[in-house]
C-alpha cells in the first residue's frame, strides 16, 4: 500500500487562504494526502471561508486555526506558503521534500464574499495542477530539469519532440524528410533524447520508431503539450512534408501492386 503523503498550507493568520486551501485540497485529493494548515500568528477563521466552501459544496469539517509552533516536530512531504510573510517560515521545515510558494492576495482586506470566491478559484486551479503532477501514483524518475530544458533549447530537438508529440511515433527517415536534416544529425539527437529517457524506441521491420517515453514525468508531458498547443504553427512546414511523404509512399505501394 502506498503511504499517504502529507502537505501543510502555511499562512500568517491561518484564517482565510490556508483554511480554504486545506478544505479544497482535501476535497480534490480524496484520501491520497494528509492535509494540514497552520499560521505563524493564528487568528479566528473568517466567516466568509465557511460561506465560500458551503457555496461550493465543500466540507469545512475539522477546520480550526492552528499555530505553526504546534507542528514544529512534524515532517511534511510538501510545505506550501500562501503569503510573503509566511514564506520565510519554510526554514522551519528543512527536512521537507518540497517547499513551494503560491503568492495569493489576502481576501480579508476586501469587503464581501467575492474576494474569497476568487481566492478559492485560484486555489482550485493551483491544486488541480499540483495533483496532476504529484499524486502518489505518479511515476517519478531521476531526470534533471536542467537536462530537459537544455534539450528543448535546441531547435532541431524541439521540432523532433513536437512532431513526435503530434504523430505519436516516427522513424529516422520520417524525421529526416520532415526536418530536411542529415540522417546522422537526426540520429545523434534521437540517441541523446533516448539516453535521457525522454524518448523510447522499438523496431518494426527494418525501421526503428521513436515515441515519448511512457514513463515520462507528467510535468515534462505537460510542458511539451502546452508548447505544442501554444505554438500551433511551429511545425507546419514539417507536417506538410510528412504528409507529402506518406502520400508518395502510398502511391509507390499502389504502383508496386500493379
Cell match 507528467: residue?
218
pLDDT, average across residues 121-146: 82
More confident residue, 86 or 207: 207
Domain endpoint, select from 134, 161, 186: 134
- Count how many domains the chain has: 2
pLDDT tier for residue 65 given thresholds of 50, 70 and 90: very high
Q: b/e per residue, 34-49, with b = 16+ CB within 10 A?
A: bbbbbbbebeebbebb
The per-residue pLDDT for range 201-232, each reduced to its tens digit, is 999 888 999 999 999 988 999 999 999 999 99
Grid cell digits, residue 138: 505518479
Which helix (H) or strand (E) element contains residue 147? Answer: helix 145-152
Cell match 510545505: residue?
79
pLDDT, average across residues 2-27: 91
Q: Which domain holds residue 45?
A: 5-134
Q: Are 29 and 5 spatial neighbours (Cβ–Cβ below 8 Å)?
A: no
Please measure the distance between the N-terminal and C-terminal CA atoms of the chain and give it in whole angstroms: 61
More confident residue, 41 or 3: 41
Q: List the one residue out of 10, 42, 44, 40 whose CA is nearest residue 25.
A: 10
Whether 11 shows a pLDDT value over 80: the answer reads yes
Q: Is residue 94 part of a domain?
A: yes
Crossing angle of the two packed helices 47-55 and 17-29, in degrees rounded to 10:
30
pLDDT, position 258: 45
Q: Are residues 27 and 126 in the same domain?
A: yes
Candidate ranges 105-109, 120-124, 128-132; pick with highest mean pLDDT: 120-124
Q: Are residues 17 and 74 in the same domain?
A: yes
Q: Are residues 89 and 176 in the same domain?
A: no
Q: What is the pTM of this model?
A: 0.78
The count of other CB atoms within 10 Å of the CB of residue 206 is 7
pLDDT, average across residues 52-77: 90
Amino acid at each position: 500500500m502506498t503511504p499517504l503523503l502529507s502537505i501543510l498550507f502555511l499562512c500568517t493568520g491561518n484564517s482565510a487562504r490556508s483554511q480554504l486551501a486545506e478544505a479544497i485540497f482535501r476535497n480534490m485529493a480524496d484520501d491520497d494526502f494528509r492535509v494540514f494548515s497552520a499560521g505563524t500568528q493564528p487568528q479566528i477563521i473568517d466567516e466568509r471561508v465557511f460561506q465560500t466552501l458551503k457555496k461550493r459544496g465543500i466540507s469545512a469539517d475539522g477546520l480550526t486555526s492552528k499555530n505553526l509552533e504546534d507542528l514544529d516536530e512534524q515532517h511534511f512531504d510538501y510545505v506550501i506558503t500562501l503569503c510573503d510573510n509566511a514564506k520565510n517560515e519554510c526554514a522551519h521545515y528543512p527536512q521537507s521534500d518540497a517547499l513551494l510558494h503560491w503568492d495569493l492576495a489576502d481576501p480579508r482586506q476586501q469587503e464581501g464574499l467575492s474576494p474569497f470566491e476568487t481566492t478559492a478559484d485560484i486555489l482550485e486551479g493551483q491544486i488541480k495542477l499540483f495533483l496532476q503532477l504529484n499524486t502518489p501514483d505518479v511515476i517519478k524518475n531521476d531526470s534533471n530539469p536542467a537536462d530537459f530544458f537544455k534539450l528543448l533549447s535546441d531547435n532541431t530537438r524541439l521540432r523532433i519532440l513536437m512532431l513526435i508529440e503530434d504523430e505519436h511515433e516516427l522513424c529516422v527517415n520520417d524525421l529526416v524528410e520532415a526536418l530536411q536534416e542529415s540522417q546522422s544529425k537526426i540520429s545523434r539527437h534521437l540517441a541523446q533524447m533516448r539516453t535521457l529517457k525522454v524518448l523510447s524506441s522499438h523496431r518494426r521491420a527494418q525501421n526503428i520508431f521513436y515515441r515519448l517515453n511512457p514513463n515520462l514525468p507528467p510535468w515534462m508531458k505537460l510542458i511539451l503539450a502546452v508548447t505544442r498547443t501554444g505554438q500551433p504553427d511551429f511545425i507546419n512546414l514539417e507536417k506538410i512534408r510528412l504528409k507529402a511523404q506518406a502520400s508518395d509512399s502510398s502511391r509507390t505501394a499502389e504502383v508496386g501492386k500493379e
